[in-house]
Chain A
Amino acid sequence: MGAAGFLMASVPWLKGCTAAGQAEMSGGKVRFGIIGPGSRGSFHIDNLLKIPQAEIVALCDNYKVNLDKASAKVPSARRYDDYRKLLEDKDVDAVVIATPLNLHYRMAVDAFSAGKNVFCEKAMAYTMEECLDMYRKGKASGRIFFVGQQRLFDPKYVKIMDSIRKGDFGPVVNVRNYWFRNNDWRRPVPSPDLERHINWRLYREYSRGLMTELACHQLQNGTWALGMLPDRVMGTGNIIYWKDGREVFDSVCTIYTFPNGVNMTFESVISNKHFGMGEQILCKDATVDLASGRLYAENPKPRSGIRQLVGEIEQGIFSSSAFAGTSWNAENASADPGIAIMPEAVEGDGSLEMMQAFCHSVLTGIQPPHVLEEAYYGSVLCLLGDEALLQGKILEFPEEFRLS
């Protein structure tokens, strides 16, 4: 049983997004240092600039182009090209680490040593051992430690996972995750000597490829929905199309099996994008499509129109007919349209709420329960999956990586 087993008992990590949480933060300010303000780091800067309780006071990157872009957004922030210098900055309360994966561990551990609160991008670290040590050092530091699993803060995920865990849709029988793109996953490189520095996601020295950059978003769905950890994983990974010197797979297919026999798949190909991104929880009585935010019944109530009135009148019954709604096409009448999970469209994917929650935790000094544990297991699962791909074996979840 992982932390997911307790996750939906309440949603304390969302308190920072509530009126009460906002009141608790009133007047407070978290001074941020951004380490790695490139693609994802820049996204976090944009969100932090929307949060009244956040102030960006320092920026750090050893790639001047990214540093200049970030400085243009936050001209008042001090500039560093070495993260250790930023960690010496007494005005920095918290750091955002959005650097290549292989750097997360060292930077986070140093940040804890410097007394900083840490928000680290996912995946947590390059190896399972680093993840465990990072988790332990973060807990021991007494500082706030978040890893960027934004789905935990996405209202539609929170709502639907609550229903799944309550059994509203019957038992979970399968979890499907996939992410299909059709591009080389490269970023423009101004000079060849910067190739590995900029396209770090393609090289084993820095990254575990699709598993740490994409699967880590999605594997959490299974542990969250089922309330347990998978106990084994198998799969295959290959470079099938982008044979351009990259070292990470451009095609992966993994199966995680839970103790009750339920399978969770993660599949990714970056040479065909037709099916896009999908996250589906298959239950005995309903299917949750998280990507579209809709819920579909296995056996939907027949769309009666007013036809049922005939039978009711025959039996002398006066009842209410439920059919009024928007127009539907005659040829599509048999298809179940499902229902939207959220009554209103919700902007964003939880990333802004995640940063608000982080600010709330830093200002109140309260690490919300389970969030770090969820992130830890999400990272460990994607790393274990990559090991299974590399070894071509069925791997069991190592007992030593279960949190006590």
Chain B
Amino acid sequence: MEFVYSTKNPDAPVAFASFNAMHSVFEMVIAGVSGNMGRNVAGKVQEKVREIEGKLNRHDPDSVFSKLDSSSGLSPVGVDDEVFSILQFCETFRKSTAGYFDIAALSVSDTRPAYRLSPECRTVCLSGEGLVLDAGGFGKGYAIDVVRTILSEEGVGNALVNFGDSSVTALGRHPFGDCWQVQARTGGGSFMLKDSSLSVSGPRPDGSAHIVNPQDGSLVGNRCLVAVEGRSAFVCEALSTALYAAPEMMRPVIMSSFGGYSYKVIRQDFKQWIEENL
């Protein structure tokens, strides 16, 4: 982990931590803490993020998601309370988004629900063969929510957390402002975050498509980005994934079920890109 602590501005000591996780980079700025506290909190955050990654990374043969995916529905798989709760939320999101958020979108099977939960046994059973559960559409957002809880418990009041640029959460405010200001790197979108989160979904930075439309299994080719702002980064990420895949007319319908959350379609600003890069 990279950790930087600065007291160059005596009125605003600041810590920065960064480490690789979930095939991307986790970054965090914590304002107004001591060096020891910053390092201690960053260590706890890294440990927890790694733990979550260990459960959700379906490419890790030891992860719960990997075991679920390889079970082919032949037998229930025992999960801990955290994963059980995540899967409950994911199924709720699927129903609330007309199926446009679907952690089984990569499956060859269109059986839905893709899994059954047994609250008594704390087990999960896939609904058949050909089903794959993937955390790509919510994992970073979920992890950020957990990190926010850690930061609050540790007494951090002001921080900005960024996971791979696609999921961001802000606690409190910037030392010299009344919020944390974040812009889309493509231009076209600016957000004032204060105890709120932001998630952005769209094509990869190189323009290639990667989000699958759960309705037909095709890659979504929209060039716009969809940003969702609200309290929970988990909900923001699930919603931004769903809204990006959903037809334009469906977006307000989906959002009507999510009070306290708003969305914005970001179209790249070609002129701004030129001004900034050339």
Contacts of A340 in B (CB 8 A): 207, 223, 268
User: B202 — which chain A residues lie within 8 A by C-beta?
Assistant: 325-326
Q: Hey, what's the 0/1 contact readout for A294-314 against B, CB within 8 Å counting as 1?
A: 110101110101110110011
Indicate if the CB atoms of A324 and B183 lie closer than 8 Å. yes
Q: At the interface, yes or no: B168 with Cβ under 8 Å from chain A?
A: yes
> A325, B186: Cβ atoms under 8 Å?
yes
Tell me which of B17-25, B83-91, B123-131 binds A: B17-25
Q: Is there a chain B Cβ closer than 8 Å to A321's Cβ? A: yes
Most chain A Cβ neighbours within 10 Å, of B160, B202, B270: B270
- Contact of B204 with A328 in the complex, beta carbons under 8 Å: yes
Contacts of B184 in A (CB 8 A): 322, 324-325
Of B24, B198, B201, which is in contact with the most chain A CB atoms at under 10 Å from its CB? B24
Q: Are A314 and B29 in contact (CB under 8 A)?
A: no
Q: How far is the CA of A56 from the CA of B224 in the complex (A)?
A: 38
B200 touches A324 (CB 8 A): yes
For A90-111 the 0/1 string (1 means CB < 8 A from B) is 0000000000000000000000
Q: Closest CB of chain B to A337's CB: distance in Å?
A: 4
Which chain A residue has the least Cβ–Cβ distance from B208?
Answer: A337
List, in ascending order, chain A residues with CB within 8 A of B249's CB. none
A327: B residues at CB distance < 8 A: 23-24, 140, 164-166, 204
B24 near A310: Cβ-Cβ < 8 Å: no
Q: Chain B contacts of A294 at CB under 8 A?
A: 206-207
Answer whether residue A240 sits at the interface, using C-beta atoms and an 8 A cutoff. Answer: no
Task: Give the residue of A170, A328, A337, A341 whose beta carbon is less than 8 angstroms from that of B24.
Answer: A328
Q: Give the residue name and chain of the B residue nearest to A342 (CB).
A: B223
Residue A193 CB within 8 A of the other chain: no
Q: Is the CB of A325 within 8 A of B223?
A: no
Which of these, B31, B185, B203, B204, contacts A323 with CB under 8 Å? B185
Residue of A299, A330, A345 most packed against chain B (CB within 10 A): A330
Q: Complex: how many Å from CA A294 to CA B162? A: 27
| Bound-complex Cα distance A305 to B168 (A) | 11
> Given that A320-B181, A321-B183 are contacting pairs, would A339 and B278 also be in contact in the complex, using a CB cutoff of 8 Å?
no
Residues of A near B9 (CB, < 8 A) are 313-316
Q: Mark A270-311, 1 if CB is under 8 A from B, else 0.
A: 000000000000000110000011110101110101110110
Q: Is the CB of A328 within 8 A of B164?
A: yes
The total of Cβ contacts below 8 Å across the A-B interface reads 168
Contact A324 B274 (CB under 8 A): no
Q: Please name all residues of chain A whose beta carbon is closer than 8 Å to the beta carbon of B162 when the two chains form the complex.
A: 305-306, 323
Q: Is A343 an interface residue (CB 8 A)?
A: yes
- Residue total for B at the interface (Cβ-Cβ under 8 A): 62
Contact residues on A (Cβ < 8 Å of other chain), bracket: 35 or more
Which residue of chain A lies nearest to B267 when distances are taken between CB atoms in the complex?
A343
Residues of B within 8 A of A133 (CB): none
Given A310-B29, A314-B8, A337-B206, A325 and B14 contact (CB-CB distance below 8 Å) = no
In the complex the two chains form, what is the Cα distance from A301 to B183 in whole Å?
Answer: 15
- Complex: how many Å from CA A177 to CA B48? 51
Give B159-188 interface residues, CB cut-off 8 Å to A.
Answer: 160, 162, 164-166, 168, 174-177, 180-187
Cβ B24 vs Cβ A313 within 8 A: no
B window 192-231: CB within 8 A of A: 198, 200-207, 221-225, 227
- B-side contacts of A330, CB under 8 Å: 20, 23-25
B6: Cβ under 8 A from any A Cβ = yes
B250 at the interface (CB under 8 A from A): no
Interface flag for A168 (CB, 8 Å) = yes
Top 9 A-B pairs ranked by shortest CB distance?
Answer: A337-B205, A318-B177, A320-B181, A297-B277, A318-B176, A322-B183, A327-B164, A314-B8, A337-B206
Contacts A163-B274, A323-B183, A343-B223 given; 19 further ones with Cβ under 8 A?
Answer: A169-B274, A305-B165, A307-B16, A309-B160, A310-B6, A313-B14, A313-B174, A313-B176, A318-B174, A318-B175, A318-B176, A322-B187, A324-B189, A325-B202, A325-B225, A326-B203, A327-B140, A330-B25, A335-B206
Interface residues of A, Cβ cutoff 8 Å to B:
163, 168-170, 285-286, 292-295, 297, 299-301, 303, 305-307, 309-310, 313-330, 333, 335, 337-345
A–B complex contacts, Cβ < 8 Å, 13 sampled: A297-B277, A306-B162, A309-B16, A310-B16, A324-B165, A324-B166, A325-B184, A328-B205, A330-B20, A335-B206, A340-B207, A343-B224, A343-B270
